[in-house]
A and B are shown apart, each in its own frame.
Chain A
Amino acid sequence: MRDLALEPLAGLEVRDIRIGRNGGTLLNVPHLMLDGPGPTLILGPNGAGKSLLLRCLHGLIAPDVGQVLQDGMPLGARQKAQQAMVFQQPVLLRRSVAGNLDFVLRRQGLNRTARRARIETLLQEGGLTAKARQSARSLSGGEAQRLAILRALATGPEILFLDEPTSALDPAATQTIERMVLHASAQGVRIVMVTHDIGQARRLAADVVMMQGGRVVEHGPASEVLDTPRSQAAQLYLAGGLII
């Protein structure tokens, strides 16, 4: 197994992507380079295009024009296989907790013994060992999101996208998810995460992408964007103003 922590993080580059519907622009990003060392947090109000950008980066939505590059290569099957995504509402298979992890490990061609060992390790990491045989659908919101993250990590991704994974969680559950995200980042997984929570961006982000109206209005180190924003939209959003 490759030691991702010793290798440079996979880089993502957006080249002039645009998505429009019914004459309006949903996303218009001329250029964006995500090649920094730590978690990237995408901030912005509802309808800013954060989730749309994330889906474009992950190849779930193809832009009308432009392209996304991963380590200089256009997104293809190989690149997508190196990515994983966690959604706002965790989508868990109607199987046991362990069964959800087994599903992705089986797809990697691991034999039964290897799968069992890996599942045990993952469940320990997520604090879900006692719930291994329980139906995944019966988990609490926080547990379900933990399992979704574990399942994403079980694919061995180089890039992990998270779309507001803690938006419906209480502070304790949020803290656990944030620890998992930071742990994955420390292991060499590039983290690209959408959030509404400015506090969360301060806690996690190395760099912040600020979006509004389908455009990137600011991108830079977290300390700069969050403490001394240059754009008016970022200043207003960070000041807690209503952006309509």
Chain B
Amino acid sequence: MQDFAAEISDAMLLILQGDAELWAIVLLSLRVSLLAVLVSAVIGMPLGAALAVGRFPGRRAVIVLLNALMGLPPVVVGLLVYLMLSRSGPLGVLELLYTPTAMIIAQVVLVSPIIAALTRQVVEMLAEEYSEQLRSLGVSRLASVPVLLWDARLALITALLAGFGRAIAEVGAVIIVGGNINHVTRVMTTTIALETSKGNLALALALGVILIGIAVAVNALVSALSLRAEQEGLTHA
């Protein structure tokens, strides 16, 4: 018990003293996950909006598939991205394996379906409400996409935060494609896994506290935005 208290005390000291190694890991985690969410938003939002307003054969099947992809197992994604980026893989020539870029790619594969599926839900609900009005104003189906995305902005930010939550807390995929290399690809989650196994609980605990802090902050923001979106008559429930 005394040891545990001492580890927590050491962990707090690491955070408060601004330990360089600890904050470098935190910053790398944030950089990787934020970039992954940004790329996922560029892919997922137009895709989700197109699915919401588009009408084509097999649309329902695509939506079911997209929803299923939200629950992709991270280790499987890690394995697939690893195979793509490995020396003998189709993208091996890019030499991206064990780099932050590889981790971003893996997180994009995990987060894009989440953002696309949530965007589809939100935009479809709004499109239903706006449909006749926009047609009356002469707005074509294609031209309605940016209108719907803009008017659903609060709910879409919530979708982005949900994606960020998934990315920052992810460990299975990034440890496979990143390799957990010190000062290169070591992020919060992979460091926690490694340091715990080595018995260095202070650093693991410090990162755990920061990770939980980020998760709480993200959820508080999601909650506040959801409330605001509800007041605006728009939730993605």
**Which A residues lie at the B interface, using CB under 8 A?**
55, 58, 60, 77, 80-81, 83-85, 87, 91, 93-95, 103-104, 107, 135, 137, 155
**What is the chain B residue whose CB lies nearest that of A93?**
B151
Does B136 contact A81, Cβ atoms closer than 8 Å? Answer: no
Please state if A60 and B136 are interface contacts (CB–CB under 8 Å).
yes
Interface size on B, residues (CB 8 A): 15
Q: How many A-B residue pairs have CB under 8 A?
A: 39
Q: Output the least CB separation between B230 and chain A (Å).
A: 11
Contact of B232 (CB < 8 Å), options: A77, A81, A137, A155: A137
Task: Verify A95–B137 contact, CB threshold 8 A.
Answer: no
Q: Within 8 Å CB of A107, what residues of B? A: 137-139
Closest 4 interchain pairs by CB?
A: A91-B133, A94-B151, A85-B136, A94-B232
Beta-carbon contacts under 8 Å, B120-166 to A = 129-130, 132-133, 135-139, 147, 151-152
Contact B133 A104 (CB under 8 A): no
Interface contacts beyond A60-B136, A94-B234, A137-B232: sample of 13 additional A-B pairs, CB < 8 Å, sorted by A: A55-B132, A58-B136, A60-B132, A77-B138, A83-B136, A85-B132, A91-B129, A91-B132, A93-B151, A94-B151, A95-B151, A104-B137, A107-B138
Expressed in whole angstroms, the minimum distance between the Cβ of B131 and any Cβ of chain A is 9
A60–B135 touching, CB < 8 Å: yes
Chain A nearest CB from B150 CB (Å) reads 8
Q: Which residues of A contact B57 (CB under 8 A)?
A: none
Beta-carbon contacts under 8 Å, B203-234 to A? 232-234
Bound Cα distance A144, B179 (Å): 57
User: Are A87 and B137 in contact, with the CB atoms below 8 A?
Assistant: no
Q: List 6 A-B residue pairs with CB atoms under 8 Å apart, sorted by A's residue number.
A: A55-B132, A81-B138, A94-B151, A103-B147, A107-B137, A135-B232
A149 CB → nearest B CB, Å? 13
Shortest CB–CB separation between residue A86 and chain B, in angstroms?
9
Cβ A137 vs Cβ B136 within 8 A: no
Please encode chain B, from 85 to 124, with 1 for each CB lying within 8 Å of some chain A CB and 0 for all others.
0000000000000000000000000000000000000000
In the complex, the answer to whether A84 meets B136 with C-beta atoms within 8 Å is yes
Tell me the nearest residue of chain B to A55, going by C-beta: B132
- Chain B residue numbers with a CB within 8 Å of A137 are 232-233
